[in-house]
């Protein structure tokens, strides 16, 4: 059987551009407010998917606010359909597992856990099951909260191949918890052009405080996808595609020219999909000196304040948002003021070495009642803080973003 690349219509391209705008805006806020002084890895796609699970049960101003954030550029009447389309027609295609065809191994899943005292409204249940392919399970948050937490966390750990553990803290769930919504993703890809471990060398990585640390750098004499600009360079490291012609994943490293230029470069990268798309390398060039550090990063945060800082506040209740999430459950026996989001937990992990990359992330929402100049040869020496992202190139879907401040530490 012959496979053909996924065909993107202009309308789908526009939807992905809108999604990318949201993902980059979200990444900029998390990066600058939470992860700016340390190593950072984040899956904006997982965060976006988990928040998208909230929308089928929202209404009124709360729904409008979610749609404006998650699907920028869409008018209110088409936002719900557009959000479903970008997930079901693009994201699902981009994130299909390609391991049997020699491409990256990719697992993604959505889950919904409902307290057994409640019943989901039919529209919400149908949407999360058919569009988001979510597994809906009944648990006892009211009387057996710790058991329910273990069930959710075990599901996340299983989807992420053991990389994300204890996503939801036991203390965050109590007798008021009604619903938990989760997204989890696991990615493992080998480089199309693997690094030879025998050529890995230890060298200095320069930190922002003026000191340096000795770390292992992967090296190569092979031609590389590099584009160079006045104050930064971009490297593309494609993952092995195998016979999977439907997808092509790549890691991109954005390296500032100055040792302390990462924050200025981050502002440009996260400004929108136009900057990203205009600066991706498209051709291989010879390299004189080529060094990329190995790194492993774990990162976690609670995202309520992140969303509030981005203007998404109605899901957390208050006068304007009260009742805005009431389209999820049929009955609310011990809830008098409707559903509200209490916490949003996110954990992510990435490891980059000579073989390739393994990365995973999970997000949980708990709810309570209530054009470059290319020289003949180029150096690319990533020996100071840089940005990176993992992207599916045929659709433009961004899976992971982050930055490396010190590859000698893993958090």
Structure tokens at 69: 């954030």
E strand or H helix that includes residue 204:
strand 201-206
pLDDT attached to residue 58: 86
Whether 117 and 142 have beta carbons less than 8 Å apart is answered as yes
The residues facing 201 across adjacent strands are: 217
- Tell me the CB-side half-sphere exposure of residue 101, using CA atoms within 13 A: 17
pLDDT attached to residue 320: 52
Whether 237 and 376 have beta carbons less than 8 Å apart is answered as no
In angstroms, the Cα distances linking 207 to 30, 213, 233, 299, 334 are: 21, 8, 18, 19, 53
pLDDT attached to residue 6: 55
DSSP secondary structure code for residue 191 in this structure: B
**Which domains are assigned to the chain?**
10-189+297-369 (3.30.497.10), 192-294+372-404 (2.30.39.10)
Whether 96 and 246 have beta carbons less than 8 Å apart is answered as yes
pLDDT attached to residue 274: 94
Whether 346 and 361 have beta carbons less than 8 Å apart is answered as yes
pLDDT attached to residue 376: 59
pLDDT attached to residue 372: 47
Per-block average pLDDT, block size 10, for the chain (411 residues)?
57 87 94 91 95 88 91 82 85 86 94 88 88 90 90 96 94 84 96 96 96 97 94 97 91 97 96 94 94 97 93 78 65 57 93 96 82 64 98 94 95 71
pLDDT attached to residue 95: 85
Whether 326 and 62 have beta carbons less than 8 Å apart is answered as no
- pTM listed for this prediction: 0.93
């Amino acid at each position: 059987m012959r496979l053909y690349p996924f065909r993107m219509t202009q309308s789908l391209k526009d939807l992905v551009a809108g999604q990318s705008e949201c993902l980059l805006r979200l990444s900029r806020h998390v990066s600058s407010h939470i992860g700016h002084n340390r190593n950072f890895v984040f899956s904006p796609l997982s965060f976006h998917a988990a928040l998208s699970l909230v929308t089928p049960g929202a209404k009124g101003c709360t729904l409008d606010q979610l749609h404006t954030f998650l699907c920028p550029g869409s008018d209110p009447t088409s936002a719900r359909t557009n959000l479903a389309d970008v997930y079901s027609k693009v994201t699902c295609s981009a994130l299909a597992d390609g391991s049997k065809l020699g491409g990256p191994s990719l697992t993604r899943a959505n889950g919904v856990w409902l307290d057994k005292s409640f019943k989901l409204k039919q529209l919400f249940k149908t949407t999360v099951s058919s569009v988001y392919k979510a597994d809906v399970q009944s648990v006892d948050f009211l009387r057996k909260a710790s058991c329910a937490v273990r069930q959710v966390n075990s599901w996340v750990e299983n989807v992420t191949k053991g990389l994300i553990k204890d996503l939801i803290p036991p203390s965050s769930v109590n007798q008021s918890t009604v619903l938990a919504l989760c997204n989890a993703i696991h990615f493992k890809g080998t480089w199309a052009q693997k690094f030879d471990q025998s050529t890995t060398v230890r060298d200095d990585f320069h930190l922002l405080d003026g000191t340096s640390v000795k770390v292992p750098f992967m090296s190569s004499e092979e031609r590389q996808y590099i584009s160079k600009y006045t104050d930064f360079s971009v490297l593309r490291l494609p993952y092995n595609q195998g016979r999977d012609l439907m997808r092509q994943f790549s890691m991109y490293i954005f390296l500032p020219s100055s040792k302390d230029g990462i924050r200025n470069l981050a502002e440009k990268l996260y400004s929108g999909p136009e900057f990203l798309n205009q600066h991706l390398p498209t051709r291989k060039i010879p390299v004189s000196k080529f060094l990329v550090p190995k790194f492993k990063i774990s990162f976690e945060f609670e995202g309520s304040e992140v969303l509030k800082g981005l203007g998404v506040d109605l899901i957390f209740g208050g006068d304007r948002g009260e009742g805005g999430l009431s389209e999820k459950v049929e009955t609310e026996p011990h809830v008098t003021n409707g559903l509200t989001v209490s916490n949003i937990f996110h954990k992510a992990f990435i490891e980059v070495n000579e073989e390739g990359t393994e990365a995973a992330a999970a997000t949980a929402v708990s709810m309570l009642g209530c054009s470059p100049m290319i020289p003949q040869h180029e150096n690319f020496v990533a020996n100071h803080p840089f940005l990176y992202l993992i992207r599916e190139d045929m659709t433009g879907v961004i899976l992971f973003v982050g930055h490396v401040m010190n590859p000698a530490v893993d958090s």
